[in-house]
Every structure is written in C-alpha cells, then in structure tokens.
Structure 1
Amino acid sequence: MEWSTLLCEDRIRSLVKRPTGTDLRTEFEKDYHRIIGSASFRRLQDKTQVFPLDRSDFIRTRLTHSLEVSSFAKSLGQNISASIRTVIKDESFLPEHALAMCDILQCAGLIHDIGNPPFGHFGETAIQDWFKRRLPELRFQRSGEEEARPLSEVLNRQMVEDFYHFEGNTQALRVVTKLHFLVDEHGMNLTKALLASIIKYPGSSLEVDKHSGNIKTKKMGYFYADREAFDDIQASCGTNGARHPLAFILEAADDIAYATADIEDAVKKNCLTFEQLVRELTEYKKECQNERYRDMVSWLTDKYNRAVSKGYSRPDLYAVQNWVVTMQGQMIGGATEGFTNNYQEIMAGTYKKELTAGTDAQLLMEALGDIAYRYAFVSKPILKLEIAAETIFNFLLDKFVDAVLYFDTVRKQSAVQEKLVSLISDNYKKLYFICSAGKSEEEKLYLRLLLVTDYVCGMTDSYAKDLYQELNGIA
C-alpha cells in the first residue's frame, strides 16, 4: 500500500471544486466540519458508554468518549507520522501526508461509534440475539409462491449473517455513507480515506472468523446493502481487502480510551475501590509482569500518597484520575512503538494484531480491561439496566419488523402496521425507496429489515425508552 493512494481525498459523490479562493480548508478539514455540525454526531450525547441513562455529568457518554478517541487518535497520528519520517525514514511519506493523517484520525475518532445502537454494546448483542431467534420463526410469502417460508430461507446467506453479526462499527459506515441525509443518498459524503479508516474489519459477514488469529476477521465490516460503497472505498485507497493502516491507529485510540475511562468511571460510581484496583493490578498475571509494569502500578500508590499529604477529600479519585492520564501517555507510546516496529507488515496488509501487542502497554491494557469488566460491566446496576434494555429492544423489533414485512408490496397492511411505519424517519424511508428501486423481492425484504435496524440504531437511550413506554401506554 502507498500513502499517496491511502490518503485519498476523493468522495463517493464527486464535488465540483470552484476556484473561488475563499475556502482554504483541505478536504479532510471539510470532513471535520461536516461531522461536528451533524445531528447524527449530536445524538451521541444521549447514548450509553458503560452506564446507561446515568444522570451524572461526570460519567461518559458516546459523545464524550468519541471526543476522547478523536484526541488520542490525533496524538497518535502526530507521534507515528514523526516516527515514519525520522525513524523508519520512508521517503514516500511526505510532510503533507503527516498533516492529512492527523486530520483524518481526528475525524475518524469522532465518527467511529456514530452507528452504535442505544444502551451501549449490549444493544448490538440484543439486536443479534433477536434476529437469531426470530429470523427462522418469521415467515414471508413471496409473490407466485403457494406457501410462506422462514425469513432465514427467503434471504440469501450474507443477508442473514448480516443480522446475526450485526455490529455498530458496520452501522457507522452505513450512517455516514447513506443514512445521514445531508444532501442526498450519499450521507455525509466524506472522503474515502476517512471512510477506509473507520472500517476496522474489511470483510463481509460471511468472512467473520473470531478464531483465525487475524484481527481483521473478528467482526464484519460492511452490510450486503453497502457492498458497492465498500468496494469503491477499497479500490480508491488501494487497500484491496487489507486493513487501512490508519484503522490500526484508530483502534488503538479507542482501546486507550476504553481502558482508562472505564476504570475512572467505575471508581467514580463506587463499583471499584482504590484498594481493589491496586490489589487487582498487583495480582494480575504476576508471571507476565516486568519491571516496567510494576513501576506503572507503583505510580498509582505514589499519587494516592501525594493526594493524602495535600489533604484532598477524595484521595482515591484524585489518584486514579491523575494516574489514568499518565497511563494514557504510556499507552500512546506503546501504540507508536507497535506501529513503528511492524511498519512493513502493516503497509503490506499482513499485520494481524493490535498495535500494543508485544509492548510494555499490552499487559496493563489487558489488566484494566479485565478489571473494568468484572467490577463495572457485570455490576448489578448495569445488569438490571441491560435486562430492561433487552425488553425495550425485543418490543421495538417485534413491532417494527412485523410492520415492514409487507410494506411496499401488494399486500395490504393493517392500520396499526401503517401507523408504525409512519413513525420511521422519512429520510430513512426515502433512502429505502432509492436503494430498492429495481431490486429483487428478496433484496427489498432485506432492505426493509435494515430500515428497522437503521431506525432503532438511530435512537438515543432516552428516545428508545420513551417510545417503548408510549407505545405500551405507560405514563
């Protein structure tokens, strides 16, 4: 792969560039302003990061998380671009490439979670589980056929697997290339380099293999409905089935944000005490610990003692908040080291791991992830909210999928089905009609099911809860 191609400024819908001289922004800077001004981005302020429907202004939402990832991604871009120039000494990487890399990564951080459904990652699981359970049960009768057949038999294999492996990152590509109706059906019409950077898993739902040892097959990267856009992006950026190098950097930024923020939020919410954190870090895989890891853990205690000596009322929270900032710097250094050490493999499209693999940051990130899962993600308040969220998802999917099964067909809908369809965004329905024109009956059915997941994923936590209550007559 070549940087001159990877940093492609083209858009799926070409723009007429007018030489007025009044707009001095680069194409990637224009992307930034399109994102910041979008309703899709603003909705992230009411979407769960870890703690659903939390009223505290301290706890992170998808919006604050995305801003943090954007910041880390840009910092990594600055470090890595300097390393490419001075350590690796790749002469094909020009000064303007360094600026473009940072701008793209800053934008990629903002939109990497823009397709996530309400109620955090549990929302993805709830959608997957619903379709795995219901697609073989729901039946559809095609014109000319005497009997209705299960949806899992009517749709082709990739269509079915799209729903079984439903994924927020995949939905993000769909939001920015189609659903955010800025001017037309091309969504925000962002640059192809940016779009390629948010495709963490450059393969279809048929290629998912969590046990392959290659990170790019862990999840799917695009829906069957978006295959033409995916192919266009890949061809223009020259990635040809490989991960875009900037996707590795974006993932590292996301991992850094998760590893540190989840711990900080867990301590703030009293899910995890300072003493538990120190003990867990000290005991985590002792046989794998090196002196660097032990030093980083000892810094946490040092910061606590400093807070006590200064008389802070919450020395535990002071210590954790300051320590995670220090750890973020260590992790950025580890990811930079990983990119530098594996540069040739990354550019050849053969690198299979995270950037921090094999660095001093790896064990620390694993430890923090494990601690956050055991103390926050499976805490009773979270579990209760996830059970409630599943009830909401099941109800909404039951109602709206039933309503769209025969929408846009010769079969007459019931009054209730018509009312439910009328609740779906007009822009989403307009996109459905554009994309379904001239398509087979099978693909139209698939697009109608996507119409429902598009609608549900576009909801905020509060909207999903309120709609559930309203449709159930709950005051």
Structure 2
Amino acid sequence: MKWERLLSTKRVSTSMCDLAQPAHSRDLRSEFEKDYHRIIGSSSFRRLQDKTQVFALDKSDFIRTRLTHSLEVSSFARSLGQNIGECIMNQGLDAGFTREMQRDICDILQCAGLIHDIGNPPFGHFGEEAIRDWFARKLESLFYKGKPLTQVLTSQMLQDFLYFEGNAQALRQVTKLHFLSDENGMDLTYALLDTMIKYPVSSCDMDPEGDRISRKKMGYFYGEQSLYQQIAGDMGTLGVRHPLTFILEAADDIAYRTADIEDAFKKGFITYPILAEELEKGQKKAAREGKYADREHMDPLKVLADQYQAGKTKGVVSPELYAVQNFLSWLQSELLFCAATGFVSHYEQIMAGTYEKDLFYGTCGDWVIRLLGDIAYRRAFLSKQILSMEVSAWTILNFLMDLFVPAVIHYDTDQPQSMMDQKMVALISENYRQIYLMHRRHTANEEDQLYLRLLLVTDFISGMTDTYAKDLYQKLNGIS
C-alpha cells in the first residue's frame, strides 16, 4: 500500500453543494477539512450527545456520552497521527512520505474519531446486543408471503441481522442515511470511509474466534458491499485494513479504557484503594509473564501513589480523586507513546496488509490497557445498577422491535397490511422511509427489497437517542 493512494480525496459523487458555488468563489479548505465540517454539521453527529457510552439512562452530567467519547477519540487519533508522521519522516521509514501527508493523516484521523461510533444504537454496546438477541429469537417466526424469513433471505442477509454491528451501521449512516444533497449520504472522501471500516469483511467472512483482528466482526452490511468493494478496490485495501484504522482503534482503546475507570470511580464502583490493589495485582502478574521487565518508568502503581501524596500535600479536598484523574492523564500519554511505537515497529507489515494485532501488542502498555478493561468489567459493568439499566434498555428495544419489524415486512408490496402495521410504518421517520424508497428502486428482487425493509427498522432504531427511544416506548405503552 502507498500513501499517495491511501490518502485519496475521491468521493462517491460530486456534492451538489460544491457545484452550487459561484464560479469566482474559491473554497480554500482541503477535502478532509470539508469532511470535518460535514460531520459536525450533521444531525447524526449531534444525536451522539444523548447516546450512552456505558451507563445507560444515567442522569449524571459528568458521565461520558457517545459525543464526549467521540471527541476524545478524535483528539487522541489526531495526536497519534502527528507523532507517527514525525517518526516515519525522522526514521526514514518511507522515502515518499511528506509533511503534507502527515497533515492529511491528522485531518483524516480527527474526522474518523468523530464518526467511529456514529452508527451505534441507543444504550451503548448493549443496544447492539439487544438487536442481535431479538433477531436470534424472532427471525424464524416471521413470515413473508407465507414463507419464513429464514427461507426468503440469503445467508448473508440473515447474518447481517443476527450479528448486527454498530461499525457496519456507521458506514451505512454516513454513506446513505444522512441526506445531504443526493443518495450518497455525507459524501465523505474515500480515505476517511476506508479508515472507519474497522473490519474489512462481510458477515459471512468474519471469524470471531480466530486470531486475525480484522476478522473479529463484520465491517459492512450486504447493502453496502458493492460500495465497500468500490472504495477498497480503488484504495488498494480490499480485504485488509487501511493503515490509519490501526491508529483509530488505538485512540478508541485509550479513550474508553481510561474513561471507563474515571467514570466508574466517580460513580462509586471503584475506589482509590480498589484501584491501587488491582494495579498491584496486575503488575505482579505482568512481571511473572515477562511483560513488565526493565520498564521502571512505566510504573502505574507508583504514579498513582505519588499523585495521591501530591494531592495531600496540596491540601486538595479529595486526594483520591486528584490521584485518579492525574494518574489517568499520565497513563493516556504513556499509551499514546506505546501505540505510536507499535505502529512504527510494525510499519512494513501494516503497509503490506499482513499485520493482525493491535498497536499495543508487544509494547509495555499491552498489559496495562487490558487490565483496565478487566477492572471496569468486573467492578462496574457487572454491578446491579448497570445490569438493571441494561434490563430496562432491553425491555425498551425489544418492545420497539416487536412492533416495527413485523409492520414493515409487507410494507410497499402487493400484500395487505393491517391497520396497526400501517400506523407503525407511518411512525418511522420520513427521512428513513424516503431513503428506503430511493434505494429500493435500484432492485426488482423481492429478497433484496425485503432486506431493505428490515434495514429500515434497524436504521430507525439505531438513529434513536436514549431519550427518544425511552419516550417512544412510554408513549406507545400509554404511559405518557
């Protein structure tokens, strides 16, 4: 892979907004700066402010949302791009790499961080699980013209719903569901779209139990398969990750792993003594496994203790909070260094499309970042408070799926619809219905059209904020 090709400014179509500019007008923004402005001006990006990161339906104003998380990922990704670009030039890793390419990489990564979660449904990753669970339980009991859906849809179509994935929905969101000027969504650059495709495989080609990180989940639905092939084929990345995807993933890992600890601390799930105890156990385990040798400067437990003493010396109200926040800030810096080191160390493999690990693998930050995830899972995610929130979220999403999916099966066909099914379809956003009709015109195949109608529901529900989903549930139940 070559950067000249990987940093493509090509778009699926030419924006009518650009064509509408007067001939004498000159837009001095780069193509990637235009991407940035399209993203932050979109309603789908704004909706992230009312979507759960971890704590579903939480009313605390200090807990992160998808929007604040995305801003953090965007910031970390841009910084990583800057550092890695410098390393490529200073170490002579690529003779053709230029300062302009470094700037483009930073701009692309900044944009990718903003939209990497834009397809996630309400209630965090649990929302994805709830949708998958619903299809696993209900698909066999749904019928189209007297036939079970499992006998009408192709294997890939069925897999798309059984393994519904927010990453794949994000690609769909920015390329089709955001109506800017035509049917190509935000019409973002190829380089940005390819960067956000974390898993360059379909639902039939993924391998969740395998060792290849790029095959763990699906990266695009059947509905976007030809689009993916068009983009990746043009970029030279068909079936492999864009190099910047590794950087985006590392930024995401740094952001959510450290944020989950901070949010869990503020919610009371993790205390200072608990965190210190967990770090001590983690460091001893890493030492036994040979992952902690000769790295005295990477001593999380010592940094946490030092920050606690500093807080006490300064007389702060809560030396524990002071210690945790400053410790996490230090850790973010260390992990950024580790990710940059990981990219540079495996530069040739990454550019050849053969690297199948994350950027922390083999670095001094590997054990730390995995420990943080384990702490958050055991100490917070398994708590009764979060489990009860997830049950509430499941109840809401299950109810909505029960109503909307059966309602669309015979919508827009020669089959009669019940009065209630017609009303349910009418409740679906007109924007989504318009987009369905637009893309339905491109195929006369009944199974493709049925597939698009089912996507109409997952599009509608994935686009909901937590509050909208809860309010709609209450309204349809006559609660408010």
TM-score, with length taken from structure 1: 0.97
- Provide the residue aligned with 1:145 in structure 2: none
Distance in 2 of aligned mates of 1:439 and 1:264: 52
Mapped pair 1:350 → 2:346: no
Report the alpha carbon displacement of residue 330 of structure 1 after superposing the two structures with TM: 0.4
* C-alpha distance after superposition, 1:195-225 (max 9, x if no partner): 0000000000001102221100000010001
1:25 to 24, 29, 34: 29
Whether the 8 Å contact between 1:271 and 1:375 is mirrored in structure 2 is yes
Distance in 1 of aligned mates of 2:49 and 2:304: 31
- Where does structure 1 lack aligned partners over 5 or more consecutive residues? 142-147
Distance in 1 of aligned mates of 2:143 and 2:418: 17
Report the alpha carbon displacement of residue 189 of structure 1 after superposing the two structures with TM: 0.5
Whether the 8 Å contact between 1:204 and 1:220 is mirrored in structure 2 is yes
- Provide the residue aligned with 2:230 in structure 1: 232
- Provide the residue aligned with 2:470 in structure 1: 465
Distance in 1 of aligned mates of 2:24 and 2:216: 46
Which amino acid in structure 1 is aligned with residue 130 of structure 2?
A
Distance in 2 of aligned mates of 1:200 and 1:133: 28
Distance in 2 of aligned mates of 1:425 and 1:189: 21
Report the alpha carbon displacement of residue 89 of structure 1 after superposing the two structures with TM: 3.2
For residue 433 of structure 1, give the secondary structure of its aligned residue in structure 2.
helix
Distance in 2 of aligned mates of 1:62 and 1:9: 27
5 Å-filtered alignment, 1:204-219, equals: 204-219=202-217
5 Å-filtered alignment, 1:134-153, equals: 134-141=138-145, 148-153=146-151
- Provide the residue aligned with 1:167 in structure 2: 165
- Where does structure 2 lack aligned partners over 5 or more consecutive residues? none
Mapped pair 1:373 → 2:340: no
For residue 204 of structure 2, give the secondary structure of its aligned residue in structure 1.
helix
Report the alpha carbon displacement of residue 292 of structure 1 after superposing the two structures with TM: 2.7
Which amino acid in structure 2 is aligned with residue 14 of structure 1?
T
Report the alpha carbon displacement of residue 21 of structure 1 after superposing the two structures with TM: 5.2
Distance in 2 of aligned mates of 1:9 and 1:236: 11
Distance in 1 of aligned mates of 2:293 and 2:397: 45
5 Å-filtered alignment, 1:242-261, equals: 242-261=240-259
Higher mean displacement: 410-419 or 152-161: 410-419
Which amino acid in structure 1 is aligned with residue 171 of structure 2?
L
Report the alpha carbon displacement of residue 179 of structure 1 after superposing the two structures with TM: 0.2
* C-alpha distance after superposition, 1:342-384 (max 9, x if no partner): 0000000000000110001111001101001111111111100
Total equivalences in the alignment: 469
For residue 377 of structure 2, give the secondary structure of its aligned residue in structure 1.
helix
1:299 to 299, 303, 311: 303
Whether the 8 Å contact between 2:171 and 2:197 is mirrored in structure 1 is yes
Distance in 2 of aligned mates of 1:188 and 1:113: 15
For residue 264 of structure 1, give the secondary structure of its aligned residue in structure 2.
helix
Whether the 8 Å contact between 2:56 and 2:393 is mirrored in structure 1 is no
Distance in 1 of aligned mates of 2:419 and 2:306: 67
Report the alpha carbon displacement of residue 329 of structure 1 after superposing the two structures with TM: 0.5
Distance in 1 of aligned mates of 2:303 and 2:137: 49
- Provide the residue aligned with 2:153 in structure 1: 155
Distance in 1 of aligned mates of 2:154 and 2:142: 15
Which amino acid in structure 2 is aligned with residue 307 of structure 1?
G
Report the alpha carbon displacement of residue 308 of structure 1 after superposing the two structures with TM: 1.3
1:276 to 269, 274, 277: 274
Distance in 2 of aligned mates of 1:92 and 1:211: 38
Distance in 2 of aligned mates of 1:401 and 1:305: 57
Distance in 1 of aligned mates of 2:410 and 2:321: 55
Mapped pair 1:439 → 2:455: no
For residue 268 of structure 2, give the secondary structure of its aligned residue in structure 1.
coil
Mapped pair 1:412 → 2:416: yes
Whether the 8 Å contact between 1:179 and 1:428 is mirrored in structure 2 is yes
Whether the 8 Å contact between 1:88 and 1:340 is mirrored in structure 2 is no
Report the alpha carbon displacement of residue 57 of structure 1 after superposing the two structures with TM: 1.6
Report the alpha carbon displacement of residue 291 of structure 1 after superposing the two structures with TM: 4.8
Distance in 1 of aligned mates of 2:63 and 2:478: 31
